[in-house]
């Protein structure tokens, strides 16, 4: 099972758009995907047009806001075929308080200890992360092995990336398996010089991690209002084509990794 955090220190770069559309396309290719919403705005469920009763708070703590017991399987919501979600929302504020009250030795490892699917029932565990650095963010980076960083090709894009690298380096001291696997340029506008300049700079800095850019496309912003992914809303849109390429790269990378013999 691949465990991937879609994370960036800056908001408005397309993290949720990437998480939802990538997860959906992986699922449509037969991969079993659990998408975890780690933002208090609960955008994942809104993007998918669903309303789960429970979510991350109940899954981790084992009870609802009233103290009634909630089983973990009841917190996992089937959003599409092969695609399940753990909802986020305002209850994540209480979850962060709960995590902060745990003993120091397990405080940052609660997610890694609870999000362990039985019998390899999942192929991908994807986290849609909120910007910022707190006890939940640390838990996520202690749980995953890979990070996918969306970088908007506009404004001070590299500043947010620089800040996030500080978070990543801090987390890698505790999680030796954690690596930056993908840099995903988003909001690529062919009409502006700035998009090309930032994209070329990212290609020079991250030759191995750089992905095909996600083009600026109004259909990507229209789809969530309908509770649909870009593939359900308009599969012919440039955004659908770009996210299809991203999912194909992840699948191809996994296939190549399996072919490499490991003796020790």
Half-sphere exposure of 200 (CA within 13 A, CB side): 6
3 state DSSP class of 149: strand
Give the phi and the psi of residue 84 in degrees, each rounded to 5: -115, 155
Alpha helices by DSSP H, listed for the chain, are 15-28, 43-48, 56-61, 72-75, 91-100, 104-107, 110-114, 135-143, 157-172, 193-205, 218-222, 230-233, 238-259
**The pTM is what?**
0.94
- Give the C-alpha separation, 166 to 8, whole Å: 11
For the chain, domain boundaries: 2-258
- Give the C-alpha separation, 108 to 96, whole Å: 11
Handedness of CA 229, 85, 55, 178 (dihedral sign): negative
Using only the alpha carbons of the chain, give its radius of gyration: 18
* Superfamily designation of domain 2-258: P-loop containing nucleotide triphosphate hydrolases (3.40.50.300)
| Cβ-contact 173, 204 below 8 angstroms | no
Contacts of 42 (CB under 8 A, 6+ apart): 55, 87, 88, 89, 90
- Give the C-alpha separation, 136 to 110, whole Å: 9
Half-sphere exposure of 107 (CA within 13 A, CB side): 14
Residue-level pLDDT at 259: 60
Contacts of 174 (CB under 8 A, 6+ apart): 108, 142
- Give the C-alpha separation, 254 to 249, whole Å: 9
Beta bridge partners of 184: 150
pLDDT tens digits in sequence order for the chain, 264 residues long: 999 999 998 888 999 999 999 999 999 999 999 999 999 999 999 999 999 999 999 999 999 989 999 999 999 999 999 999 999 999 999 999 999 999 988 889 899 999 988 777 899 999 999 988 899 999 999 999 999 999 999 877 788 888 999 999 999 999 999 999 999 999 999 888 999 999 999 999 999 999 999 999 899 999 999 999 999 999 999 999 999 999 999 999 998 887 655 544
Residue 41: DSSP 8-state = T
């Amino acid at each position: 099972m691949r465990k991937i955090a879609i994370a960036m220190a800056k908001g408005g770069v397309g993290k949720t758009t990437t998480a939802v559309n990538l997860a959906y396309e992986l699922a449509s290719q037969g991969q079993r995907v659990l998408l975890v919403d780690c933002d208090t705005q609960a955008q994942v469920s809104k993007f998918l047009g669903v309303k789960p009763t429970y979510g991350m708070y109940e899954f981790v703590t084992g009870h609802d806001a009233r103290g009634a017991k909630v089983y973990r399987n009841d917190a996992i919501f089937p959003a599409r075929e092969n695609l399940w979600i753990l909802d986020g929302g305002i209850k994540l504020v209480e979850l962060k308080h709960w995590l902060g009250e745990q003993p120091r030795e397990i405080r940052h490892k609660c997610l890694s200890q609870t999000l362990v699917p039985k019998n390899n029932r999942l192929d991908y565990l994807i986290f849609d992360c909120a910007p910022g650095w707190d006890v939940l963010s640390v838990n996520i980076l202690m749980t995953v092995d890979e990070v996918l960083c969306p970088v908007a090709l506009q404004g001070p894009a590299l500043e947010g990336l620089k800040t996030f690298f500080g978070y990543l380096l801090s987390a890698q001291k505790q999680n030796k398996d954690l690596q930056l696997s993908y840099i995903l340029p988003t909001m690529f506008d062919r009409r502006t010089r700035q998009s090309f300049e930032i994209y070329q700079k990212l290609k020079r800095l991250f030759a191995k991690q750089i992905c095909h850019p996600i083009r600026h496309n109004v259909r990507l912003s229209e789809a969530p209002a309908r509770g649909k992914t870009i593939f359900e809303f308009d599969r012919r849109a440039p955004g659908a084509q770009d996210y299809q390429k991203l999912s194909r790269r992840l699948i191809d990378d996994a296939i190549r990794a399996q072919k490499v013999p490991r003796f020790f």
